[in-house]
Amino acid sequence: MRRPTIIAGGRRAGPDVIFVCGHVAGRVQAWYHDLSAMTQFDSYQSPLATRNASSQMQAIWSANRKFTTWRRLWLALAEAQKELGLDVTDRQVQQLGDHLDDIDFDKAAQYEKKLRHDVMAHVHTFGDAAPDAKAVIHLGATSQYVGCNTELLQLRDALTLLAGKAASAIDRLARFANEHRNLPTLGFTHYQPAQPTTVGKRAVLWAQDLALALEEVEHRLQSLRFRGVKGTTGTQASFLALFEGMGCSTDEAHDKVENLDRRVTEKMSWPVDRRYVVTGQTYPRVVDGMVLSSLAAFASSAQKMATDIRLLANRKEVEEPFEATQVGSSAMAYKRNPMRCERICGLSRFVISFVELAYTTAAEQWLERTLDDSSTRRLSLPEPFLAIDGVLDLVNNVADGLIVYPKTIAANLAAELPFMATENLMMAAVQAGGDRQQVHEIIREHSQAAAQRVKQDGGHNDLLDRLSTDATFDGIDLDSVLDPSRYVGRAPQQVDAFIKQVVEPIRERYREHLRQAPDLKV
């Protein structure tokens, strides 16, 4: 950075002289002096990279991965063109292959500043490294040959990474669910006490959401296609001209263009039967919306789970992991804030917000393509992937260390269970010889009185005590009627069925991804 001259005076005079008020001139001089010795802490860094995303996901979206893939695409194109008879030599192909990874990023930046075009900047940088091949780099191609195909490869690899992490989270939640399949807990609808379930059944609901989201991502991976070699507006006209120029008949030229598309696709390790048959200049931008919708399914599932855990933590029933030296609050030393689950919720909202942006970008593409998608997509593709990667690492961490407090769960359930057991108690009293209508009225009166005591006086639920002193219920074993396990229905069996029918196939498909410990930065 060129440092301007700072002069007290309160106005600006040209690019190299700044007039400022006298009392701030020294501070401005010091600020510009400091810029000359900037470190990483003197410029903005995305917290997605510094706090959340894994090194694997960051590598997929890194500049090095992007531009070395560009070079591999240029090599694949040159190789295929040579194989099909165009004037590309062995020496040129060899030289391109020798310089796939030694990118001079400083030189590329200088070229881009001069040319205002990132692809041509890297064409020239690659050409400088492989001078004999400079004339055939990018031959017949458009910028989106390298741009779109690279992004599709990145999307494929990033989705694959996320699928493995989701499978691992499902496995962890299933293990937790199996451990607590029989532990009764109070259920909630409308966040009001409802029929009991089990801790394990609730956990498989979280796992099921993730499993459904995983199905979406797997479908997206199966349906993702390669752009291939399509030319400036998707007509492949430039490649057709190249083959006609070497003397091919029209039919032969068409066959060679199709063969070129197939060969490049195959060289980039993409199934040749999964190419877009037609494109404009780019692959269909609606695909971005579909992909990000799949990420949003992960985000929604994770946020639901994290929100539930935050609610249960407030009831002191279930908590996320909390380390021995962890600080919950800078002011309230006693607190155990659910910071992991809160981060899951915050990052998940961030991911979900990108879905609208992706579809809007697709909707606003004019005819064969307009460039206003470029600046947006430099953010809207990598950032939600980095965010959801961090979310799934957090989900795995939380699922692996969930803390359960069975006594508190039992106490909270016991406080509400008498009300829920009244119908069973009524049936028991009728079977013992009571009149159904009279028993109903007796239970109603005692229930209202007990509820009044809880709500107005802050006392415990004494419905069971009231009924035990009422002659209507003489001879009825109230304790057995209030056994919580009698009210959880088939929850334990549903846990078993879910693990067998849903989780086990996922475990089989993702065996190598299971039990990998995420490396959380904070």
Among 112, 139, 166, the domain-final residue is 139
In a domain? residue 175: no
Domain CATH for 457: 1.10.40.30
Helices (H) and strands (E) in the chain, counts: 22, 6
Q: What is the pLDDT of residues 184-200, one digit of tens each?
A: 999 999 998 888 999 99
Q: What is the pLDDT of residues 268-296, one digit of tens each?
A: 999 999 999 999 988 899 999 999 999 99
Does residue 134 sit in the same domain as residue 66? yes
Number of domains in the chain: 3
Structure tokens at 185: 């807990």
Roughly how many angstroms between the first and final C-alpha of the chain, as a whole number?
A: 34
Does residue 67 sit in the same domain as residue 129? yes
> Structural domain of residue 433, as residue ranges?
422-481
**Banded model confidence at residue 137, pLDDT cuts 50, 70, 90:** very high
SS3 249: coil
Does residue 33 sit in the same domain as residue 67? no
- Note the pLDDT of residue 47: 87
In a domain? residue 212: no
Contact 263, 80 (CB under 8 A): yes
- Note the pLDDT of residue 89: 96
Question: What amino acid positions are annotated as catalytic residues?
Answer: 190, 329
Give the C-alpha distances (Å, rounded to integers) separating 26 from 5, 19, 35.
Answer: 11, 12, 15
189 forms bridges with which residues in the sheet?
192
Instruction: State the sign of the Cα–Cα–Cα–Cα dihedral 174, 175, 180, 185.
Output: negative
Domain CATH for 82: 1.10.275.10
Contact 97, 133 (CB under 8 A): no
In a domain? residue 89: yes
Compare 363 and 386 and report the one with higher pLDDT: 386
**Whole-number average pLDDT of the chain:** 89
Contact 400, 311 (CB under 8 A): no
- Note the pLDDT of residue 1: 47
**Banded model confidence at residue 254, pLDDT cuts 50, 70, 90:** very high
Q: What is the pLDDT of residues 453-484, one digit of tens each?
A: 888 888 888 888 888 888 888 888 877 777 89
Structure tokens at 345: 């919720």
Does residue 135 sit in the same domain as residue 63? yes
Q: What is the pLDDT of residues 92-120, one digit of tens each?
A: 999 999 999 999 999 999 999 999 999 99
**Banded model confidence at residue 402, pLDDT cuts 50, 70, 90:** very high
pLDDT at 10 over 90: no
Does residue 96 sit in the same domain as residue 62? yes
- Note the pLDDT of residue 228: 95
Q: What is the pLDDT of residues 196-252, one digit of tens each?
A: 999 999 999 999 999 999 999 999 999 999 999 999 999 999 999 999 999 999 999
pLDDT at 325 over 90: no
Mean pLDDT of 130-134: 96
Calculate the CA 38 to chain-centre distance. 33
Place of tokens 């020239």: 124
- Note the pLDDT of residue 376: 86
- Note the pLDDT of residue 418: 82
Helices 372-380 and 339-363, axial angle in degrees (round to 10): 160
> Which of the 8 DSSP states describes residue 241?
H
